[in-house]
Amino acid sequence: MSPLQEQTEQRGLEIFDLVDQNPESIFSKAGFYQRMMAFSMRDEHFKVQMFRFVDVLASLRHSSDIVQHLGEYFADMRNGSVPFLQTGIKAARIFPWLTAPILRWNVSGMARQFIAGRDPEDVMKMLRKRRQEKIGFTVDLLGEAVVSEQEANEYAERCFNLLDGLAERTRGWTDPLGKNTDLFPVVNVSVKISALYSQMNPADPEDAIAHLAPKLRPILRRAREVGAFINFDMESYAHKNTTLELFRTLFTEPEFRDWPHAGIVIQAYLRDAERDLTDLIEWGKQRGTRFTVRLVKGAYWDYEKIKAAQNGWRVPVWLQKPESDANFEACTRILLENESIVTAAFGSHNVRSIAHAQAYAQQLGIDKSRFEFQLLYGMAGPIKRALVEMGYRVREYCPVGELLPGMSYLVRRLLENTSNEGFLKAKFSDKAGPEQLLRDPRSLIGGKRSHSSPKAPSHSRNGQSLDTPPGDTYENSPLVNFVHRQSQEQMRTALREMKAKLGQKYPIVINGQKIWTDHLIDSINPSSPTQVVGAVAEAHVEHAEQAVTAAKKAFEHWCRVSVEHRAGLLERVATIMDRRRFELSALEVFEVGKPWAEADGDIREAIDFLLFYAQQMRLRGLPRLTQHVPGEESYQHYWPRGVALVIAPWNFPMAILTGMVSAAIVTGNTVIMKPAEQSAVCGAMLMEMFEEAGVPPGVLNFLPGKGRVIGQHLVDHKDVHMIAFTGSREVGLRIWKSAGETREGQLELKRVVCEMGGKNAVIIDSDADLDEAIVDSIYSAFGYQGQKCSALSRLIVLEGNYDRVVKRLVEAAASLRVGNPETPGILVGPVIDETAYRRQLEIIETGKKEATLAFQGTVPPEGFFVPPTIFTGVKPDMRVAREEIFGPVLSVMKARDLDEAIRIANDTDYALTAGFFSRSPANIERVKAELVAGNVYINRSCTGAVVGRHPFGGFKMSGGGTKAGGGDYLLQFLVPRVVTENIMRHGFAPDTTPEFRAPFGHSLDS
Ligand SMILES: Cc1cc2nc3c(=O)[nH]c(=O)nc-3n(C[C@H](O)[C@H](O)[C@H](O)COP(=O)(O)OP(=O)(O)OC[C@H]3O[C@@H](n4cnc5c(N)ncnc54)[C@H](O)[C@@H]3O)c2cc1C
């Protein structure tokens, strides 16, 4: 055993001895909390319901609401596990006036266990008590998620009050150890960066720093004046780099360069931790003044893992608990080895982690008074006392704030205390022995320790048969994670390079031939309308005729090409698209005004369509037995329809176009592709990529031109067999009608896949989590300027929440970043063109007459920027409530109750997307059943459908097709056929018939 391990164990045992001398339960407050925690550890379902109930409780105003929620969360609990609950629920129904206050009191008590006080004055009682116990403090201000600059300013104000209040009330307090006191000011405040700026965007750290630094400087100045210490807490991974950069920027400035009383957090559960720590230390050495690092494992482990899985990102955290523990120890050693420049604060309740730090400090001869242990208020009291007794410096992290904003903090603590992986549970609940608890974590790491972060498994299953959910057989392509500097740089470079080559010309492509015409259509940049992004040759009717002939001819061959070969083509296009990813995103920024992340999302979706449809066609490509019956076999299989006309919109210029084109091609049809005029260059790029991937001549023909001219001509053409259209209701209905007519010489009934708009509604229930509801509603309404067919247009708010929602919503809208989307982090850019611009301004004027203008933003003078606008007091019959606007305009409507809210939401011609924010299980169930929309989203934004995961599309006037990105989408491009053969000869037939068989006839491979 190494001397360090020996020392660690010795220290650990000493701590355990001291802990056992003060055998206070880890769950020190008896009664309700103790019972809740015990049940939570025993029953996972109860735990989930309990924590959700705790989360909603503070927002419930009436006793009847509390009792109703109690029933909804726990009514289905099995009696055996929590018998007292059943009795409680029954009693609550009879005596709500008695039960509700008791419950609230109990949960408040639970919260008070972790929240040290309501405000600076309130917290003093507790701080004085701790002072007697020789425990110091750092105070953290709890708050709601900051959704607006107004709220961010209020947080800053609270920081000043806290600093002043604490300084005033602790005057004369001295350091508990009386040694190295200059390193550890008595007043210590922990701040959360995200609470000081509402528009933090990982893609734009410079903007965040430009906003945060001026807000923080006066706080730091005040802290310095009153002799306090400021610590920057660390939050989710998305904000990590910005927080580090901000810290370095501020504390390199001449004013703060020589100030030693600043600290920052390193989260050892991150794979980046060691590198970040050494970078910080290097910076510290250059700066030449001490600073502090609080080393923790990290509070957002589950969140980071889930986020990474959802977006297909590398998981930033270690996946095995001992890996985090071992990394904590590695960082501990680095910190202590650099004691001359950095003061270490070890934030842990894990006796092994603590003992290792003690042992290593002793090995290096560092005095106990030169570093400290920090522990959370309300947790591990006996460990704190043990450390004090051993002569170490102990500081308690004390959250201060009201109950409602404190709920997310409370739930994090409850999760931590009941985590199967956690030290506290192992020691105090599972009663694990010291030898087990003090093992070297390196010896516990199972399998191989992965040095590069693995990609998050996005699906628990990855089956390959039709019995598996279609989305589950497919793993989505990842989004670009703009949190990484490298991704930001790649995007900036792509934008620069794209800017340099704007203005190129692109030909029509028919039968593999490039054709130039005498007229070019300019595609312009909506942020800067004098800038021509590119120009495409305009196709006329004669080109349309040539394209039909070419497609018809190519079909004769392509319809017999094997599924494998066609799927391979799509996969090659996906690879090329991935290679050109940043370039294509940059093009979208210029051509259609997409903000960075939206542009990347569009390219990602296009790649997903290619790969998903390739895979779906492989699954459906083989003839499949319809039924087992002796003596006869019947196989169903599919034929392509023929020539497909694809007419696409500009708002998802790559994704929707690619989706329709790739579905048509992989199913064996040939295609005439007509992109929207406003995004014709994106169309030309798709053509280029298909050509590079080896699409045979005539299989895909690129025909940019005017919808009224070639579009109409092709829709009516007798040799066009199907039309895949996404766009406006007006054009869609015209196509639908026109395709219904059978023309001279036409041999097929035309199939139309028609996707149109929406007038999407989101309802906010009276118990909704407003932090989430506001952020997601703002994003759904104003993300990409509201130009998504899924965008939120009508926000229906239940009466009880109306005033609060409107206030926060308006403040949040006022804080939005509006501007040229070349700048990262812009949420609202320009609308697509002058026609859209004029129409939207006109509707806004109408809105001003019929409803109340609650908010109108300001916009840059040049470009087609429509100010984000919110109307309140909107009634269902008003124009702003009925017409699709397709721009950044949100109508807010008040509803008496959920019945009325659902009625209003459903009272529209459209049925595309809809959403609901609520924490009532019964209301959620009801809305799932009753909202009339193709895609219903609960407690999240109503935009951002992911291929395979959220098959997308509506009904009523929103569309007449089935879900894009879903398992049955391809069927619309196919004709089903069944071939039946009598296989009985003179009373004899084979015993079995295979479920799948080879395709009929010979398929071609090229
Ligand atoms: C004073 C103080 C301040 C803090 N400040 C912050 C802060 O600013 N930002 C922040 O993010 N956290 C912060 N934390 C840390 C966090 O809130 C938890 O308290 C801490 O991670 C618990 O670790 P532990 O060593 O006490 O317990 P342990 O039980 O030893 O460790 C639990 C931790 O291990 C990690 N973990 C759990 N499961 C796994 C797994 N399967 N694989 C890998 N790792 C896993 C998680 O980080 C989990 O929290 C702070 C903690 C303290 C005590």
pLDDT in tens, 41-61: 888 888 888 888 888 888 888
Share of the chain above pLDDT 90, in %: 81
Binding site membership of 296 for ligand 1 (Cβ less than 6 Å):
yes
Nearest Cα residue to atom 25 of ligand 1: 348
Distance CA 987, CA 967 (A): 40
One-letter amino acid of 182: D
pLDDT at 76: 74
| Distance between CA atoms of residues 291 and 752, nearest Å | 67
Tens of pLDDT, residues 785-840: 999 999 999 999 999 899 999 999 999 999 999 999 999 999 999 999 999 999 99
Location of structure tokens 């996005």: 458
The reported pLDDT for the residue numbered 450 is: 56
pLDDT number for residue 991 = 87
Ligand 1 centroid distance, CA of 159 (Å): 25
pLDDT tens column, 957-981: 999 878 999 989 999 999 999 999 9
| Distance between Cα 605 and ligand 1 center (Å) | 35
Ligand 1 near 301 CB (within 6 A):
yes
Give the DSSP H or E segment for 357.
helix 351-364
Q: What is the 3-state secondary structure (H, E, C) of 173-208?
A: CCCCCCCCHHHCCCCEEEECHHHCCCCCCCCCHHHH
pLDDT given for residue 62 in this prediction:
84
194 lines ligand 1 (CB under 6 A): no
Q: Tell me which H or E stretch contains 956.
A: strand 955-956
> Distance (Å, rounded) from C-alpha 840 to C-alpha 829?
14
The rounded Å distance from CA 275 to ligand 1 centre is 19
- Compute the average pLDDT of residues 933-962: 95
| Residue 186 backbone phi and psi in degrees, to 5 | -65, -45
* pLDDT higher than 70, residue 126: yes
C-beta 133 within 6 A of ligand 1 = no
Q: Is 262 near ligand 1, meaning CB less than 6 Å away?
A: no
Q: Answer yes or no: is the C-beta of 746 below 6 A from any ligand 1 atom.
A: no
For range 153-164, the mean pLDDT: 96
- For the cut 80, the answer to whether the pLDDT of residue 885 exceeds it is yes
Q: How much is the mean pLDDT over the chain?
A: 93
Q: Which helix (H) or strand (E) holds 657?
A: helix 655-666
pLDDT band at 38 (very low <50, low <70, confident <90, very high): confident
Residues designated catalytic: 755, 789
Mutation probe of ligand 1 site: the residue of 193, 296, 395, 421 with most atoms within 8 A of C-beta: 296
Nearest CA to ligand 1 atom 36: 321
Q: How far is the CA of 296 from the centre of ligand 1 (A)?
A: 6
Using DSSP bridges, classify how beta strands 632-640 and 913-917 pair: parallel, antiparallel or unpaired. Answer: unpaired
Gap from CA of 236 to ligand 1 centroid (Å)? 13
pLDDT value at position 724? 98
Pairing relationship of beta strands 394-400 and 135-141 according to DSSP bridges: parallel
Using the structure block, give the residue that is written with the tokens 């190129």: 504
d(CA 719, CA 711): 14
Residue nearest to atom 39 of ligand 1 (CA): 321
pLDDT tens digits, one per residue of 253-294: 999 999 999 999 999 999 999 999 999 999 999 999 999 999
Work out which ligand 1 atom sits closest to the CA atom of 323. 43
Which atom of ligand 1 is least distant from the CA of 412? 17
Read off the pLDDT of each residue in 228-247 and give the average, rounded to a whole number: 97
Query: Which residue would you say has higher pLDDT here, 151 or 459?
Result: 151
Q: Using the predicted structure, report yes or no on whether residue 420 has a pLDDT greater than 90.
A: no
**349 in ligand 1 pocket by Cβ < 6 Å?**
yes
Of 729, 398, 856, 785, give the one whose Cα is nearest residue 593. Answer: 785
Q: Is the pLDDT of residue 94 over 70?
A: no
Indicate which residue's Cα is closest to atom 52 of ligand 1.
347
493 membership: H or E segment, kind and range:
helix 485-500
Question: What tokens were used for 329?
Answer: 């120890």
In short, whether 765's Cβ falls inside 6 Å of ligand 1 is no
For residue 384 and ligand 1, the question of a CB distance below 6 A is answered with no
Ligand 1 close to Cβ of residue 429 (< 6 A): no
pLDDT of residue 569: 98
Closest-CA residue, ligand 1 atom 43, reads: 321
pLDDT for 722 beyond 60: yes
Using alpha carbons, list the distances in angstroms from residue 781 to 834, 934, 940. Answer: 21, 18, 13
| Interval between CA 42 and ligand 1 midpoint (Å) | 22
Query: Is 351 a pocket residue for ligand 1 (Cβ < 6 Å)?
Result: no
- Lowest-pLDDT range of 27-41, 339-353, 842-856: 27-41
Task: Calculate how far, in angstroms, residue 345's C-alpha sits from the geometric centre of ligand 1.
Answer: 14
Residue 25 has pLDDT above 80, yes or no: no
Q: Is 332 in the pocket of ligand 1 (CB under 6 A)?
A: no
Question: What are the pLDDT digits (tens) for 430-454?
Answer: 888 999 999 999 999 976 665 556 6
- Contacts for 250 with CB less than 8 Å, ≥ 6 apart: 213, 216, 217, 220, 256
Could you tell me how far CA 61 lies from the centroid of its own chain?
30
CB 885 within 8 A of CB 908: no
What are the start-end ranges of the H helices in 865-1001? 879-882, 898-906, 921-930
State whether the beta carbon of 298 lies less than 6 angstroms from ligand 1: yes
Separation CA 432–CA 855 (nearest Å): 59
- Integer Cα distance of 615 and 464 in angstroms: 9
Contacts of 238 (CB under 8 A, 6+ apart): 202, 483
**Residue 433: what are its φ and ψ, rounded to 5°?**
-80, 165
Give which of 587, 723, 606 is closest to 656, Cα–Cα.
606
What DSSP character marks residue 907?
A: -
422 Cα nearest atom in ligand 1: 29
Q: Which atom of ligand 1 is nearest to the CA of 190?
A: 8
Q: List pLDDT tens digits, range 698-717.
A: 999 999 999 999 999 999 99
Given this model, what pLDDT does residue 30 score?
54
Distance separating alpha carbons of residues 918 and 927, to the nearest angstrom: 10
Average the pLDDT over 222-250 and give the result.
97
- Residue 603 Cα to ligand 1 midpoint, Å, equals 36
pLDDT range class, residue 70, cuts 50, 70, 90: confident
State residue 458's pLDDT score. Answer: 45
Residues shown for the chain? 1006
- Give yes or no for residue 127 having a pLDDT over 90: yes
Mean pLDDT of 648-652: 97
Q: Does residue 84 register a pLDDT over 70?
A: no
In the structure, what pLDDT confidence band is assigned to residue 463 with cuts at 50, 70 and 90?
very low
Ligand 1 centroid to residue 375 C-alpha, Å = 11
Q: Phi first, then psi: give them for residue 722, nearest 5 degrees.
A: -150, 155
Q: Whose CA is nearest to atom 33 of ligand 1?
A: 297
Q: What is the pLDDT of residue 425?
A: 83
Does residue 648 surpass a pLDDT of 70? yes
Tens-place pLDDT, residues 751-760? 999 999 999 9
Closest residue to atom 15 of ligand 1, CA basis: 298
Q: Locate the ligand 1 atom nearest the alpha carbon of residue 231 and give its number.
A: 8
Question: What beta strand segments (E) does 558-612 contain?
Answer: none
What does DSSP assign to residue 515?
A: E
Whether the CB of 394 sits within 6 Å of ligand 1: no
Distance 436 CA to ligand 1 centre (A): 19
Q: Whose CA is nearest to atom 37 of ligand 1?
A: 321
For 674, residues 6+ apart whose C-beta sits below 8 A from its C-beta are 645, 646, 647, 648, 683, 703, 704, 705, 707, 710, 711, 714
Q: 812: how many CB neighbours lie within 10 A of its CB?
A: 25
Ligand 1 and 348: CB distance under 6 A: yes
CA-closest candidate to residue 959, choices 788, 793, 752: 752
Which atom of ligand 1 is closest in space to residue 423's alpha carbon? Answer: 29
Return the higher-pLDDT residue of 540 and 404. 540
pLDDT band at 203 (very low <50, low <70, confident <90, very high): very high
| Structure confidence by residue, pLDDT tens digits, 777-797 | 999 999 999 999 999 999 999
| Non-local CB neighbours of 75 within 8 Å, separated by 6+ positions | 89
